[in-house]
Structures are given as structure tokens and as C-alpha cells.
Amino acid sequence: MATIAKIQPKNLISIGLLVFIPIAIAAEKLEWGALTVFVLSAIAIVPLAIWLSTATEEIAVVLGPAIGGLLNAVFGNATELIIALVALKEGLVDIVKASITGSIIANLLLVMGLSMLLGGLRYKEQDFQPMVARVNGSTMTLAVVAIVLPATVITTSNVVEQSAINKLSIFVAIVLIAVYAFTLLFSLKTHSYLYDVSVVELEGNVSQDEAGEQGEHGKPNLWFWIGILLVATIGIAFVSEIFVGAVEEATKGLGLTPLFTGVILLPLVGGAAEYVTAVRVAIKNNMDLSVSVAMGSSLLVALLVAPILVLVGQVIGQPMDLNFNMFEVIAVIIAVVIANLISLDGRSNWLEGMLLLATYAVLGAAFYFHPVL
């Protein structure tokens, strides 16, 4: 009963949105049109992503900081990874590559922007640990270098064999995964004290009713939330098949390019849970956790999701390299530089949030009008 009492007020919206899952399935079976299926399946993914995120958080509470932190690190962007894997299997390599840069840009500009804006409207200024922001920013800079290198090799060379680009991408992917492993060691083991403040502040935001429930009934039911995690993961994989099946035809009908679809639309669907979490805790004056979610999600995409897609693509016969469109590279550099500059002082206000959102809007418009090559 304690679990049910906790679920209903916290996830009421996501429970209501679950109705779109059977509607999306019916829309595909009854052939209601690609655009209708695309919209309905996109909405259906959102509550599943929220439940996946919630289950991960609840399991982390039971298993403790070390294993819980690792679980959050692995499942933090599971929705985006599942959608990208399904799209890669269907051969939509251009859209998948665009979604990688789009996720990084969205987390650094849109998520941090919304968090700083809405948190700043409630509190004049908000503080967060600049040390954590600097560490994340330094690691993000390495990820940008990895994204820039293959494109630079092609730009500065007259003739480059595709096989050479594939080999370079595989090597870079392995290095990035190794770097991600070291960042986990840093954040969960050797320097975990730097990240404890977010957990402490989040626990401080628990309501008295919830605290009473936890005190009376103990920790969340582990097996219940493992079941929710599995069901949500399977549900996302299933609905993603429907979503990806309609995305190409639907976006063409709207006059949208694969570049815009991947950079703007897919991250909005796949990252919904992270967006809600980051904004929610920012409004509760926990900018430490909000910034960690935004920058941590970007790192997860750059250091783990992208390399996994490169390696899996080789295995399933849909080779994907790290040779990104030069405009995507420039956009990621802009996002990283601006996010680093704003987070350096460890303080934020609503104007800085507005500046991040304005940058995202300008980049979004640029991608919309970017010509198809």
C-alpha cells in the first residue's frame, strides 16, 4: 500500500499518458496515417520513459549509493539508446547520428536553460558546486574532440577511404567507453564526496508524508520496481518500433529533413524523463542535482551511447561512423562552450536560463533551414 500511495501523486500524469500506448498500437494496425502514428507513439514513449526513470531511482535507493549510482549511470539515457538502436536496425543512420548531437545540445541548452529559468523565477539566485560542473565540462570537451576528429580528418584530406573512417570511429568509440568507465570510478569511488550533496539535498526535499511512509514501511519494494523497470524497457522497445517505422514518412510529409528530425525531435521524445527531473529539482532549489542531470546526460550520450551505437552498428551490418555533419560539430562546440561559461561560477539566475534557451532556439531554427545535401 505504501508503494501505491507513493506512486499515485508522483506519477499521476504518466499514468494518464499510458492510455496512448494502446491508441498508438491501434493507429498502426488500422493505418491511420504516418503522421498520426508518429505523434501518438511519441506521446506513448513519454510515460514509459518516466516510469523507467522512476524505477531506476527507486531501485537505487534500495541498493545503496555505489550500485545505485552505477544503475543511474547505465539507465540514465536508456530510452534514447533504445530508440537509436531501433532506428539503426532500420537503417536510419543519418537520423541516429543527428540524434546523438541533438541529445548533447538539448541537455546542455534546453534542459539547463529551462532549469535555470524556472528555478530563477522562484529564487533570485541558485548555487551549485562549480567543481562538479568543471569536471563534467572537461570530460565533455574530450567528447567534443572525439566528435570533431573524424570530420576534421575528412575535411583536411583529399581522399579518405570509408574503411579508414570506420576504423577510426571504432578506435575512438573504445577510448570513449574507457573514459566513461574512469568517470564512473571518479564519481562513485575516489571522489564520490563531490556528488553526495545532490543526494542529500534531494532527500531533504521529500515531503513529511513520504518520509513518514518510508519510516513506517521501510525502503521501496525492490522486486516491484525491478518488474516496473523490465516492463518499461520492453514497452519502450515495442513502441519505439512503431515510432521509428513512422518517423521517416511523417517527417517527410511535414517537410522536415533527417538532420532536423534527429537533432530536435528525437531528443525531445527520448529525453523527456531527464527533462522533467532536472526542471522539477531546480524548482525545489536543488541546482546541484539539476546541473548534474543535464551535464551527466550529455556525457552519457557522448561517452557511452554514441560508442555503443558505433560498435553495435558494425555487428548488425548497419555501420555507423563518427563522421558528423560539420554544422552539427559547430553546434555541439557552441553548446559546450556556452554551458561551461555559464556554469563556471557555480551560480545561476533566470537570465542565464533565458540565454541558454535563446541559443537553443537559434540553433533549432538553423537546423530547420539547413539545406539537404
In Å, how far from its chain's centre is CA 219? 27
Instruction: Retrieve residue 126's grid coordinates.
Output: 541558485
State the cell numbers at 129. Answer: 558546486
The confidence band for 200, taking pLDDT boundaries of 50, 70 and 90, is very low
| pLDDT band at residue 300 under the 50/70/90 scheme | confident
Per-residue pLDDT band for 192 (boundaries 50, 70, 90) equals low
- Out of 21-25, 94-98, 132-136, 172-176, pick the least confident: 132-136
pLDDT score for 257 = 85
Chain mean position to CA 224: 25
Residue-wise over 214-252: b if at least 16 C-beta within 10 A, else e?
beeeeebeeeebeebbeebbebbbbbbbbbbbbbbebbe
Q: For residue 194, give the 3-state DSSP assignment.
A: helix
Taking residues 153-166, report their average pLDDT. Answer: 76
Q: Which alpha helices (H) appear in 1-77, and where do they start and end?
A: 2-10, 12-17, 20-29, 34-63, 65-75
The pLDDT value recorded for residue 372 is: 61
Q: Give yes or no for a contact between 262 and 87, defined as CB atoms under 8 angstroms apart.
A: no
pLDDT one-digit tens code per residue, 63-93: 765 566 567 667 767 888 888 999 999 888 8
C-alpha–C-alpha distance, residues 112 and 339, integer Å: 8
**Taking Cα atoms as reference points, which of 106, 70, 100 lies closest to residue 85?**
100
Contact status, residue 313 vs residue 234, Cβ threshold 8 Å: no
Please give the pLDDT value at position 373. Answer: 53
Q: Where are the alpha helices (DSSP H) in the chain?
A: 2-10, 12-17, 20-29, 34-63, 65-75, 78-89, 93-105, 112-122, 130-155, 162-185, 196-204, 208-217, 222-253, 258-260, 266-270, 272-283, 287-300, 306-315, 326-343, 350-369
**C-alpha to C-alpha distance for 216 and 6, rounded to whole angstroms:** 13
Angle, alpha carbons 173-179-182 (nearest 5°):
150
Asked if the model's pLDDT at residue 7 lies above 60, the reply is: no
**What is the structure's pLDDT at 360?**
94
Write out pLDDT tens, residues 202-255: 444 444 444 444 444 456 788 888 898 899 889 999 999 999 888 888 888 888
User: Cβ(291)–Cβ(113) under 8 Å?
Assistant: no
Mean per-residue pLDDT of the chain: 81
| Number of Cα atoms under 13 Å in the Cβ half of residue 33 | 8
For residue 199, pLDDT over 60 is answered with no
Closest C-alpha among 150, 198, 366 to residue 295? 198
Cell 568507465, residue? 181
User: Which of 49-63, 165-179, 183-197, 231-245 comes out lowest in average pLDDT?
Assistant: 183-197
- Identity of the highest mean pLDDT range in 20-29, 139-148, 294-303: 20-29
pLDDT in tens, 115-134: 999 999 988 888 887 777 77
Residue 310: pLDDT band with limits 50, 70, 90: very high
